[in-house]
Each structure stands twice: as C-alpha cells, then as structure tokens.
Amino acid sequence: MDGSRKMGFDEVPSAPAGGAGGAGAAAGGAAPEGTPDRSTLTSRLEELRRKLNDCDWSDPELLVRAAGLCAELDQRDEAVNMLSRALELDPRHAYARTRLLELAGPEALEGISVPVEIVPLSKRPLEVFAYPLRGAGPIMIGMGGVFYALLFTGLAIAAGIFIVFPIALAVSLIFIGYLIEFFRKVTFDTINGGKQSPDWPDLDFGQFVLPIKAAFIYLVLMLPTVGLAVLTALRVVDLGDIGNDVMLLIAGEINGLVLPMAMLIFFVRRSALEALHPVRLFASISACGREYWLAAGICLVIAPLRKGVMVLLGAIPLAGPILSTAAMIYFAMVACRALGLVYRSCEQKLSW
C-alpha cells in the first residue's frame, strides 16, 4: 500500500497542532528539554483510556490522541489498534490514516483494511476529465467506439426493413443496457475508491431493461419542459418569441440540474421509481449541497461540449462514427465519475 513502511520509533512525525502529539524519545532515552517525561505521558494516556471507556471507545478523536501517546511510549501495537478503530468509526479521518500507515509495518497492514482516502469532487474537479484516460480507459473507449458505432449503424439500416427491425431493436437494447451497466460500474468503482477505469462488466441478457428504465426517468423529468413547450405552441402561455425561448431554456436547464441525481439514485438503488421519488430526489440534492451542484454543473457543461465534439468527429471520413461514439463514451464516463465522487463524499448524509 502506498506510503506504508516500517519506521523506527524516532521516525514517527509530530502531530499537527491540536493533534495527538508526535514522536518522543525512545523508551529509556533522555527526553529533550520541554518534552513531558514518561510518567506524565502515562498519566495522560490513562486519562484518555478512562474517557474512551466512558464512551465505549466510540470517539475517533480520543482514539487518535491516545494512539499518539501510545506511540510516544513505544506501545506501537496498541497505537495501531487504536488508529484502526478510529478509521472504522470515521473512514474520512485523514490524520488517523496517515499515522496508521506510518506506525504499522507491512505485516500488520496485511490484516488491516485501511480506507482509501476520500477526496471530494470540489477539491479536484478537473480530475474527472483525466479519469477515463487512465488504466484500461482508452482501451475501453476504443473498443466501445468501434462496437457501438457498428451497432448503431446496423440499427439505422435495419430501421428501413420492417421484418428485421424488431429483432435488431431487441439486440440493440441488450447491448445499450450493457453500456449503461458499464457506466454504472464506473460510478460504483469510484464510490469504492477506484482511481482508474474498470473493465467491461459481465454480459447479462436481463440488461435490456436498463435503457428502458433510463429512458423512462428522462422522459418523466422532461414532462414539465414538454408540457411548457406545448402550452407555448398553443399560445396558452405566451411571453413573446424571445420570452418563450428563454422560458423553455430555463426549464431545460432545471431538468439538467435534477437529472444527474436521478441517475445516481437509479445506479445505486436500481429502481426508476425511487429515482423519481420527489422527496428522495430533492432531499438528496439538498444533503449533498455544493458537491452535487458542482457535478451537475459539470454535466451541464459537457452536454453541449459532447454534442459539438461528436459532430466534429463524425464529419471525419470513414472513422467519423467510431470517433464520435468513442467521444460519447468518454464524456459519459466523466459524468459518472463525478456522480460517484458525490456519493462517496456525501454517503453519510444520504439515507440510501
């Protein structure tokens, strides 16, 4: 594991201000001037142990402070156990993770599940654009571009043949569902701490329902915008040509701000109805706050960007459809990465 190494006692760094204390002199050595002696450190540790007993060892901060004193007293094993317990209670405790990696040797770390550091989307928003290009990502994008370009071309040809089209549509739904399952896997891999693109998922013929559910979610969320468009077309609502266009644009943008959360709920819960439940939908958006709004903003920005890139690449002779489809997969991975980071950093605030 990165950063894990067995350190000598005098190598343990000091804790930050207000933290658990740093490395002291080795047991039996002379303490530098101003450093508490061993009896003082032992007394402090006993006091912290009493406090931990009172709270059933459920306070991560007390555990980290006690672990720091154990380290200074050369009680390394107990310090490691306390830090492990602190991370069980609070996987996001960065200092506890750092100290555990410093104090625990390779053998001890083999039996400890150290949570992967959680970096919110707001800390590195541009990372989502690099994510699809790491690991097997370029291969996944290239393979997907070739396969789905051929699939969509075949479906377009089959659309003109009445007998063949239903079969071609059924086959296409299965593989479009497979692509949606891949995007879902990108989201879950991010939630689980993955830092590069996963491989393709296993093929399941039951996946043909996924595009139907996804389309259902999209259409339901679009109903207010569609209804407004009908009302303006019938002049029931009439703010003038410019006013109507602005109103429809705003309605579409609102839909675009809500859709990412609906898809995140759908990916996690696998239920279109739960994704459309208004209370869950808006409560989840509120719980995630700026992390979600940043992800939604990224999705809004890449929507026209994706269309523009696909049009430009699609105009390239022969390779156009492949490159255009590959671009679509790339931008979808960016969006799913952003949603995964939102859920990962806000999981404790969500009720699902």
Give per-residue pLDDT as tens, 301-348.
998 999 999 999 999 998 999 999 999 999 999 999 999 999 988 988
More confident residue, 283 or 249: 283
Q: Which two tokens stand for residue 227?
A: 């209804």
Nearest to 77 by CA among 104, 97, 99: 104
Could you give the residue ranges of the DSSP H alpha helices within 159-199?
165-191
**Least confident interval from 8-12, 143-147, 245-249, 312-316:** 8-12
C-alpha span between 333 and 187 (Å, rounded) = 8
The pLDDT confidence band at residue 88, using thresholds 50, 70 and 90, is confident
Average pLDDT, integer, range 24-45:
64
Contacts 24+ apart (CB under 8 A), 25-28: 26/74, 27/73, 27/74
- Top mean pLDDT of 61-65, 223-227, 239-243 is at 61-65
Q: Please, what are the domains in the chain? A: 9-110 (1.25.40.10), 127-349 (no CATH)
> Residue 183 is which amino acid?
F
- At 135 the three-state DSSP class reads strand
Which pLDDT band, with edges at 50, 70 and 90, does 8 fall under?
very low
CA–CA separation, 42 vs 88, rounded Å?
A: 25
Mean pLDDT, the chain, whole residue set:
83
Amino acid at 298: I
- What is residue 142's three-state secondary structure? helix
In 234-289, where does DSSP find H-type helix? 240-269, 272-275, 278-288
Question: What pLDDT was estimated at residue 110?
Answer: 59
The pLDDT of residue 23 is above 50: no
Tokens 């006091």 locate to: 47
pLDDT 10s digits, 145-174:
999 999 999 999 998 888 888 999 989 999
DSSP assignment letter at 197: B
Cβ pair 84, 112 in contact under 8 A: yes
User: Residue 304 and residue 252: Cα distance in Å, rounded?
Assistant: 13
Which of 46-55, 243-252, 283-292 is most confident?
A: 283-292
Residue with token string 């071609």:
168
Could you tell me the pLDDT band of residue 34, with boundaries at 50, 70 and 90? low
| Predicted confidence (pLDDT) at residue 143 exceeds the cutoff of 80 | yes
Q: How far apart are CA 258 and CA 247, in angstroms?
A: 17
pLDDT in tens, 268-282: 988 999 999 999 999
